[in-house]
Chains A and B, each alone.
Chain A
Amino acid sequence: MVRGLVRYVAHLPAVTGRRLVIALPLIWLAVFFFLPLVETLQVSFTTPRRGIPPYAPLWGFGDDGFFTNFTTGNYELLLQYWSDYFGPALNSIKLAFFSTLVCLAFAYPMAWWIARSTEKWRTVLLVMVMLPFWTSSLLRLYALIGLLNPNGFINAAGLWLGLIDAPIQMMQTDFSIYIGMVLTYLPLMILPLYAVMVRLDADLLAAAADLGASGPEIFRTIILPLTVPGIVAGSLLVFIPAVGEFVIPALLGGPDQLMMGKVLWTEFFRNRDWPVASAIAMLLLAILTVPIIYARYQDGRETAADGPEQPAEAK
């Protein structure tokens, strides 16, 4: 039956095929990605109540005709309890921002190392970068806890070697968040950087050296400017999801590392206040709208620039 279906599809006229190919994912994503966001917007304007689902419908037709439960109360709540909501929001941005910088600090030399290696080593190193990515990040974070805990591996080793007198507090600090972010997001930062660096013509570096540039000068004037697209792409790939990150602050962070993801989770699962959780989701989206649009704009520019170069023909 499958073979028959495939044969049928294979011999469909081209135009129907085209429409199908576009329509299938478009409809799916419209229903399962876009519609949910609309739904969330709706719920953010209703009130919570007992029952299933634990919120009142936004509008409907009842015995007395059309009714609505529209309210801006959830957003007012967010504004009112500033420290409980906007504080973590700013904290999320701060932690995500510095996590991105830390990721960049490690990813940049790693990507350069891989890009400048010989063909054989390049594949090996790339696999080594991707291997952790293919193993559960949750388990790796769990392992990190075992490393950073006061009674964990690093402290135990440090005490045993006599390097420290008392266990260092590494868990539930900004530091543990950063390490957790690096663990989770490093490959996402490395890959776009690598893609740009590997295309960098080695002759450009030789030319710069020939023209009198020292190592740091070559980096500053040639390498850095030409890898900016990779830096931007990688940073956006890390920063945007990092802002809404939940697992890392939940496992590795303390009360000072409260992030929006955790707040939303708490509102949803603990307080069963779905409308407020929806409002927080909308808030998160609002914060990220500019970066997301910028990321899309960069993406469009890159695909446009992929076309062949057309030099002016004036000789």
Chain B
Amino acid sequence: MGRMNGLVLSLGALGFGILYLPIIVMIIYSFNAGKLVSVWSGASLKWYASLLENDQLLSAFGTSLLIAVWAATIATIFGICIAVAFVRFGNFRSRLALSAIASAPLVMPEIVTGLSMLLLFISMESLFGWPAGRGVDTIIIAHATFGMCFAAVVVQARLRDFDMAIEEAAADLGARQPFIFLSITLPVIAPAVVAAWLLAFTLSFDDLVIASFVSGPGSSTLPILVFSKVRLGVTPEINALATVMILVVAIAVIGASWVLRCRLAARSPD
């Protein structure tokens, strides 16, 4: 069935178009000397230059990066725990509870999770004195919370296809759990773990709504800053920032798949 319907192809192309047209236009106009997207005033790198001098944007970028790294790491560790529990532990006592609580955040509207977490932090503060005010740590906690549910889905999918014979061989040779899991299983499912981490990272870095609720003074993330700027009007530096981010992601992805292809080619003798 190699013949593709014309309708399928045109709808597909249109779909990709919708996905990519905004990005392409944005990249092109990041080199636009003028401010407006509708007028091309000649090529220029000035927005990139002013981006480098925009301390506000840069510090927000740094904050987002810090938060995302922490949140993704916590999310991945807990996500692995959830995945292992579901795939390996059979029908344990709290399975239903964990299953419900680990899948609800996947579909919950962010506005609800954001608001509810803020309310929790406030009452925790008044009861225990921690967390003292909202800031980077509360955002990290919030992001890790929904991040671990997404990470769990990714790791679970990989774990389900995992060949248990490898672990059984290790056990037969004298190793015990959890050593087997850490030294054998984890390295084998490493690509899925990395994918889970990247997913949690992206979700954290990109999050606006939840961060808006649980952030405090001085912990402005990049999305919060961009959102406030967008309400006020066009800032072409954001085009430049977006282009840089897209380029970084694209290079990382292409680089990773190129490395993967080289490794695969090296491994198979033909």
Contacts and interface: CB of A to CB of B under 8 A. Distances in A.
A308 interface: no
Contacts of B36: 151
Contacts of A247: 208-209, 227
Contact of B4 (A113, A123, A241, A268): A113
A147 interface: yes
B215 to A, nearest CB: 12
A96 to B, nearest CB: 10
Interface residues of A, number: 99
Which of A12, A32, A128 has the most CB atoms of chain B within a 10 A radius of its CB? A32
B202 interface: yes
Nearest to A292: B107
B112 A244 contact: yes
B22 A110 contact: no
Contact of A246 (B14, B25, B111, B202): B111
B38 A155 contact: yes
A135 B100 contact: no
B130 interface: no
A34 interface: yes
Given A36-B117, A136-B206, A22 B92 contact: yes
Contacts of B152: 25
A186 interface: yes
Interface stretch (A66-74, A77-85, A281-289): A281-289
A152 B230 contact: no
A245 B119 CA distance: 20
Interface stretch (B48-56, B78-86, B162-170): B78-86
Contacts of B111: 244, 246, 260-261, 264-265, 281, 284
Interface in A110-135: 110, 112-113, 116, 123, 127-129, 131-135
B268 interface: no
Given A32-B141, A113-B4, A106 B101 contact: no
Contact of B81 (A21, A186, A246): A21
A153 B25 contact: yes
Which of B12, B94, B102, B182 has the most CB atoms of chain A within a 10 A radius of its CB? B12
30 contacts: A11-B179, A14-B177, A14-B178, A17-B178, A18-B89, A21-B85, A40-B115, A106-B15, A106-B18, A110-B11, A113-B8, A113-B9, A128-B16, A129-B19, A135-B249, A140-B26, A143-B25, A147-B21, A149-B37, A155-B38, A183-B22, A205-B1, A206-B1, A236-B107, A241-B109, A264-B115, A284-B109, A284-B112, A295-B103, A296-B100
In the A-B complex, the 3 residue pairs with the closest CB atoms: A244-B109, A36-B116, A143-B22
Interface of B: 1-2, 4-5, 7-9, 11-12, 14-16, 18-23, 25-26, 29, 36-39, 78-79, 81-82, 84-86, 89, 92, 94, 97-113, 115-117, 119-120, 122-123, 126, 141-142, 145-146, 148-149, 152, 160, 176-179, 182-183, 198, 202, 205-206, 208-209, 213, 222-223, 226-227, 230, 234, 238-239, 241-242, 245-246, 249-250, 253, 257
Given A147-B37, A153-B38, A240-B109, 13 more contacts: A14-B176, A17-B177, A25-B102, A29-B98, A39-B123, A110-B12, A113-B9, A143-B23, A146-B234, A155-B38, A236-B107, A237-B106, A300-B99
Interface of A: 6, 9-12, 14, 17-18, 21-22, 24-26, 28-30, 32-37, 39-40, 43, 53, 105-110, 112-113, 116, 123, 127-129, 131-140, 142-147, 149, 151-153, 155-156, 179, 182-183, 186, 202, 205-206, 215, 236-237, 240-241, 243-247, 251, 260-261, 264-265, 268, 274, 277-278, 281, 284-285, 288, 291-292, 295-296, 299-300, 303, 306
